[in-house]
Amino acid sequence: MSAFILSPDTVWNPKALATGSVPRKVLHRIAFLPKGGGLGLNLRVIMENEPLRYFIALSPFVIAMFIWRDLALPISQAPVAMIIVIGFFEMKVLRVSAEKRKTLMDEDQAARVQDTLSYRARRVLTKLAALRGQTSGEVMLVVEQSELAHVTPLTLVSLQTRDGKPRILSLTPEERDLIAAELFDEEFTERLLHTANLREDVYLRSVSFDARGVSGHARLAALLDSPAPQEAPA
């Protein structure tokens, strides 16, 4: 699953992204409805909903009540057993224990993964600032991943700023394509970052960039790479 580029343009409920501070944490804080991304992304986003996960964990009880109808009442009145099942499903099936985290990846490799993320994020931010012709102000690339371990990683990438007012910035299709092409690839994957994040038990990463640091060379390269303007029809 590819990272989802989160911006007011890529969700059906952009007002939900309003924030008073950045970096903005989204997962488990707000319910967002992605535009596009296919069925897989939508199902994965739904999977972050705790009540739904509780229903999945308790589904054997529901099935048992339909199979053994004479035991339906005793089964429905077994809250302790249900709590134990939910706890096992959440902590053992979907998450990694504290003892196992350190075995996922060694400390040096995890540090290299974070260094790679920082390097690539700054490269992306440089190109975005140059394309926008931005000469001042601070922006940050925020990469948030789900803490659920044994499912497909869910990665949200957004451009945020505290200048003016804290907010998640809108992105053009070209800017979203740039982020998608430059941040992750076959060598540096979302799953690799997710493994490092699981080890450190940290799921929100942000890299800040001052637009004053964009070189003239980067601005020229952005200008040359930008599509030529289309002539108006006569």
> What pLDDT is recorded for position 4?
95
Q: Assess whether pLDDT exceeds 50 at residue 202.
A: yes
pLDDT at 43 over 90: no
Q: Which of 25-34, 190-199, 217-226 has the lowest mean pLDDT?
A: 217-226
Q: Is the pLDDT of residue 201 over 70?
A: yes
Give the Cα separation of 105 and 189 in Å (integer). 15
Which pLDDT belongs to residue 146? 94
Q: What average pLDDT does the structure give for the chain?
A: 85
Residues 6 or more apart whose CB falls under 8 angstroms from that of 56 comprise 89
For residue 121, what are the contacts with CB-CB under 8 A and spacing of at least 6? Answer: 141, 143, 183, 207, 209
| Interval 131-178: pLDDT, tens | 888 878 899 999 999 999 988 899 999 999 998 889 999 999 999 999
Is it the case that residue 109 has pLDDT exceeding 90?
yes
Residue 76's contacts (CB-CB under 8 Å, 6 or more residues apart) are: 61, 65
Q: Where are the alpha helices (DSSP H) in 77-212?
A: 79-88, 98-101, 107-132, 173-182, 190-200
Strand pairing of 167-168 and 4-5? unpaired
Q: And the tokens for 37?
A: 């991304």
How confident is the model at residue 132, as a pLDDT? Answer: 83
Confidence of residue 68 (pLDDT cuts 50, 70, 90): confident
Q: Is 135 exposed, middle or buried (0-12, 13-18, 19+ CB in 10 A)?
A: exposed
Specify the pLDDT at position 172.
94
Buried b (16+ CB within 10 A) or exposed e, 101-110: beebbeeeeb
Q: How far is residue 134's CA from residue 121's CA, in Å, rounded to a whole number?
A: 17
Largest alpha-carbon pair distance within the chain? 80
Q: Residue 232 — very low, low, confident or very high, per pLDDT cuts 50/70/90?
A: very low
- Residue 230: pLDDT band (50, 70, 90) is very low
- Residue 160 is predicted with a pLDDT of 96
- Of residues 117, 93, 114, the one with CA closest to residue 105: 114
Sequence spans of domains, the chain: 4-34+100-223, 50-97
